[in-house]
Structure 1
Amino acid sequence: MGDRNVEGRVALVTGAASGIGAATARALVAAGAKVALVDLKDDVREVAESLGAQAVPVVLDLLDEDSAKSAVSATIDAFGGLDAVVNSAGILETMSIEELTRESYDRVMNINVKAPLFLTQAALAHLGPGASIVFIASGNAVLASPNGSVYAASKGALVSLVKGLAADLAPRGIRVNAISPGPIVTPMLSAALADPAVKESIERGVPAGRLGTPEEVASLAVYLISDVASFVHGASIAIDGGTTAVWSPAAPGPGME
């Protein structure tokens, strides 16, 4: 089945300036991979610099029409190939249905679904047998939070997209999987977690009794890219402390990942 390492492989990770994306880039480099860190924020340069010669920053907006091809080209130019894509970039916006606008709907769906889909499309010409594509979905794909209907819809779309892509790409030997994190301590949830009462409420809703860390999610991403996961395909794997498995009277909070 192979070793649980990714020595010498080349990965492209989006949302790599912070949170799960940054943790995944660090974990991949630690496991021997070379990584292109893609993000809209200039902070990604500092993260990449801290990882040395095995990492390169790519600063661009994945919503721009040509950005997907640019991100892939930058990766190929830096490392000569591409073996894995981790679609981690995303946004969480909460609003009531009355507050929802067409603009806010488009923003969430474009960033959370459209951008990773077309980045994956751009990468396919360079991915061969044994390649792995990972989408960071969310527990909110199956367990909604108050005022988070569009976010939940976007993450549910990713889970369905993974199944479709898995069917399409299996004949090429390319695996596609989703990771569905629960409440993870990331900048995405930082505002909510700053309120001790809200933090306590979220923790009460997690059977494991605590929030998860980006590093725990990153470890799962490395596993899915490695040969150990060669028979894992079309899956959506929860890493949420039991949040989506066990009913809890506690409010699920403002969002999962």
Structure 2
Amino acid sequence: VIARFGRLDVIINNAGAVVPSAPDSFDAEALRAMLDINLLVPGTLLSAALPHLKSGASIVNISSGNAILPPRGAAIYGASKAALNLWTRGMAKELGPRGIRVNAVAPGATNLPEAPRSPELTQLFVNDTALGRIGTPQDIARAVRFLAGDEAGFITGQVLEVSGGYRL
């Protein structure tokens, strides 16, 4: 990208993995792995990319609704994504004077081919969602495109929950 265009306009951090966790078997290695993927990777990418980001650039981190309220078994994952949310806000403050915006999208339940769920679990999410359905990858992509684009030129440091009203 740099060789072809000479700069970066947008960075989308979409790294993530889930390691199930339980309070009676806290796994420090799982926590380290989640922090490495969900916080260290975006930080390392930003450090490498920063010389090529100019005023008007945008960074969008992909967080998770689990950072807001993790379900049972997802406390470590939720905590690592909550750390990403805090880092997003901190970087927005640090990079704002350079004209670089930093935001995050926190998807709720989303239909992903690589993460199928049972029809029963899907229905539970649908029943608890104000809009009566779970999200699609396109729903998340539209939110990312908005935050990355000029229409969101005065938005920074925000975590946009894209959940169809799941937590209302």
Pair 1:204-2:130 in alignment: no
For 1:83, what is the secondary structure of its paired residue? Answer: strand
CA distance change for structure 1 residues 107 and 160 in 2, over 3 Å: closer, same or farther?
Answer: same
**Distance of 1:210 and 1:85 partners within structure 2:** 29
Deviation at 1:241, TM superposition (A): 0.6
SS at match of 1:163: helix
In the other structure, the counterpart of 2:86 is 160
In structure 2, stretches of 5+ residues that fail to align are: none
The whole-number CA distance in structure 1 between the counterparts of 2:70 and 2:30 is 18
**TM-fit CA distance, 1:95:** 2.3
Query: Which residue is 1:219 aligned to?
Result: 142
Label 1:188 to 1:98 Cα distance change in 2 as closer, same or farther (>3 A): farther
Amino acid in the other structure paired with 2:30: S
Q: Which of 167, 175, 180 does residue 101 from structure 2 map onto?
A: 175
Alignment match, 1:76: 2
Q: Is the 8 A contact 1:178 1:237 kept in 2?
A: yes
Task: Indicate the percent of aligned positions where both proteins have the same amino acid.
Answer: 38
Q: Tell whether the 8 Å contact from 1:182 to 1:212 is kept in structure 2 after alignment.
A: yes
Partner of 1:138: 64
- Quick one: which amino acid aligns to residue 84 of structure 2? L
- Using structure 2 for the length normalisation, give the TM-score: 0.93
Q: What SS does structure 1 have at the residue aligned with 2:129?
A: coil
SS of aligned partner of 1:129 = strand
Q: Matched residue pairs, number?
A: 168
Q: How far does the alpha carbon of each residue in 1:176-202 deviate from its partner, in whole angstroms, 9 at most, with x for none?
A: 001111101124632xx1x22222222
The amino acid of 2:14's aligned partner reads S
- Give distance in 1, aligned partners of 2:33 and 2:83: 15
1:87-132, CA deviations, whole angstroms, 9 ceiling, x for partnerless residues?
0111122221223322211111111111111111211110000000
CA contact (8 A) 1:91 1:188 kept: no
SS in 2 for 1:86: strand
Stretch moving more, 92-101 or 110-119:
92-101
Other-structure match for 2:21: 95
- Name the CA distance, whole Å, in 1 between partners of 2:3 and 2:24: 47
> Following TM superposition, by how much is the alpha carbon of 1:78 offset from its aligned partner in structure 2, in angstroms?
4.7
The CA RMSD over aligned residues, in Å, is 1.4
CA shift, 1:205, in A, is 2.1
Query: C-alpha deviations, 1:10-55, integer Å up to 9, x for none?
Result: xxxxxxxxxxxxxxxxxxxxxxxxxxxxxxxxxxxxxxxxxxxxxx
Name the SS for the 2:154 alignment partner: coil
Conserved in 2, the CA contact under 8 Å of 1:92 and 1:188?
Answer: no
Paired with 2:121 and 2:108, the residues of 1 have a C-alpha distance of 15
Matched position secondary structure for 1:184: coil
Q: Distance in 2 between matches of 1:79 and 1:214?
A: 28
Contact 2:30 2:76 in 1 (8 A): no
Moved more, 93-102 or 216-225: 93-102
What residue is the counterpart of 1:45 in the other structure?
Answer: none
Map residues 48-63 of structure 1 onto 2, 5 A cutoff: none
User: Which structure 1 residue ranges, 5 or more long, are not aligned?
Assistant: 1-74, 247-257
Contact 1:87 1:135 in 2 (8 A): yes
